[in-house]
Amino acid sequence: MAPIKVIKIAFILMAVLCSQYSFAQHNDKPKLVVGIVVDQMRQEYLYRFWDNYSENGFKRLIRDGFNVKNMHYNYVPTATGPGHASIYTGSTPANHGIVANDWYNREKRRPMYCAEDEAEFLVDGPNSEKKVTGYSRSPKNLKSNTITDELKLFSNGRSKVTGISLKDRGAIFPAGHLADYAFWYNTESGDFITSSYYSDNLPKWLNKFNKRKVADSLLNVKWEPLLPLEKYSHSGPDASSMEKLFVSKKTSEFPYDLKKLRKKNGDFALLPQVPFGNTLLTQMAKATIKGEKMGQDDEIDFLTISYSSTDYVGHGFGIRSKELEDTYVRIDRELSELLGFLDDEVGKGNYLLFLTADHAASDHPPFLESSRLPGKFFDTAAIKDSLNRSLWKLYGQGDYISHLDKIQVYLNTVKTSKREVLETSIALLESMEGIAEMYVPYLHNTRNFEIDKIFRKSYHRQNSGDILLRFKPGWMPKRLEGTTHGTAYNDDTHVPMLWYGWKVPLGTSIAKHTIDQIVPTLSFLLDIPLPSNASSEPIHELFD
């Protein structure tokens, strides 16, 4: 063959290969969108534990993707239900109505759970034999549509949408109202289950997955540090009085023999409290993608994944614990496995992935005090009792406080005028230690413009309390161990925001962004409509 012809053939082959590579990298639309929420992840964990991460988990997302370093929540309380709802609706509790994980239902005169639905029943097996109504789950209480809903509408129902999590609310709110499925972990059986809102039966592939008894096998191992303990130099001592004790274990230090601990610690309910709950969810994510055939056709599919064990470990052991550091070292490996699976199953450049958190977390007040930093506990039961007793003296005996939960005060004003009770309550609350600010929508009063903006995004007329409280920095509801969250301070609002994959440029932004900007960003990336209550700007740096 003549040399010139060889050169021409080689050139043509190279052009074809390049065009195929370019198509894989810049397809008109992704085959799959994967939204990952790491429950209770502080943004600083990306860097505090950096030295112990692998090259193919968090580091890959940062190295080969776009890092929005200054992402914050812009309402209170910062909690799992509101967080997932806000990420996927592009709005805040003032619009989507998920004002907390639980709130007081004035009509029913009882606390209610954010994802409860008395009209549905749980589906926990091939034939859903236990059709017990009055206790199930659905997105009914979510008052806004989601980006996943918009994708369903845009594709005329052809896009496949599924949400998975160990927590029901972490699966349900991201998947939206029109999802094919939302699956979550059953702490009684170790299986993944759903609600009759989606289907009266579990799909065949999930029955097969449940039969593998992955949860059972993960509870028959020892939880030991993945790396030598001396490498965990970014956390405190292994044993601490501020860490939880599992029943029948005398110390809060490694190792944890789960096989010995499981029966006295809730059996299958133990799994979410250790990092292997995340391992189970990664296996479930892979099974979902294969079982639902996601990313295999010309429509955009959407899988939402919410890793919950990070939250349970944080609550139990705190943000400075060896257990938490090990949990993040391990979830880094879970992400590496998931990314490798997506590369193989969907193809590099064919999927769009983002990772964030539903809230962050604060330091335990005893730790703050021992470090000579401001921090104390408050006792909601004591505040409610003190407020009620003071109102008794003024208006006669009665139950003037229907409910008080962390930052929300629900008043019962049957006996006297609402304005009078509110004004009296404000005066009484102002005299209590630790309360920095209050928001009272009925009176339209607040003294701090920045805090007023946060409260206005938090208050939902039907679901929120009559008074919203803001405590001083470092103050936390009384607890013996670990940590919690809920404030509008950076400790609880600053979360990671990583973008990776299809059409994502390499880069970093340090401009301040808020959590309700994720949905507009997705909307303009995918060229699908904005959900009804999404009104924020997209993250412009991703389009520059």
Of 274, 320, 426, 342, give the one whose Cα is nearest residue 36: 342
The DSSP H or E segment spanning 386 is: helix 380-395
Burial class (CB in 10 A: 0-12, 13-18, 19+), 144: buried
- To the question of whether residue 101 is assigned a binding role by annotation, the answer is yes
Compute the distance between CA of residue 409 and CA of residue 406 in angstroms, rounded to an integer. Answer: 8
Residue pLDDT, tens place only, 460-475: 999 999 999 999 999 9
Span 74-84, average pLDDT = 98
- Pull the structure tokens for residue 388: 């009620």
SS3 82: helix
Span 416-439, average pLDDT = 91
Share of the chain above pLDDT 90, in %: 87
Residue pLDDT, tens place only, 513-533: 999 999 999 999 999 999 999
**Residue-range domains of the chain with CATH:** 28-96+141-180+214-368+487-542 (3.40.720.10), 376-472 (3.30.1360.150)
Mean pLDDT taken over the chain: 93
- To the question of whether residue 169 is assigned a binding role by annotation, the answer is yes
- To the question of whether residue 297 is assigned a binding role by annotation, the answer is no
Q: Give the predicted TM-score (pTM) of the model.
A: 0.93
AA identity, residue 407:
I
Residue pLDDT, tens place only, 285-335: 999 999 999 999 999 999 999 999 999 999 999 999 999 999 999 999 999
Span 418-444, average pLDDT = 91
| CB atoms inside a 10 Å sphere around CB 194 | 29
Residue pLDDT, tens place only, 18-51: 434 433 445 799 999 999 999 999 999 999 999 9
Compute the distance between CA of residue 128 and CA of residue 346 in angstroms, rounded to an integer. Answer: 32
For residue 442, the model assigns a pLDDT of 86
Residue pLDDT, tens place only, 86-126: 999 999 999 999 999 999 999 999 999 999 999 999 998 76
AA identity, residue 503:
K
Helices (H) and strands (E) in the chain, counts: 19, 23
Span 62-72, average pLDDT = 99
- To the question of whether residue 168 is assigned a binding role by annotation, the answer is yes
| Catalytic site positions | 80
Share of the chain above pLDDT 70, in %: 92
Burial class (CB in 10 A: 0-12, 13-18, 19+), 32: buried
AA identity, residue 142:
L
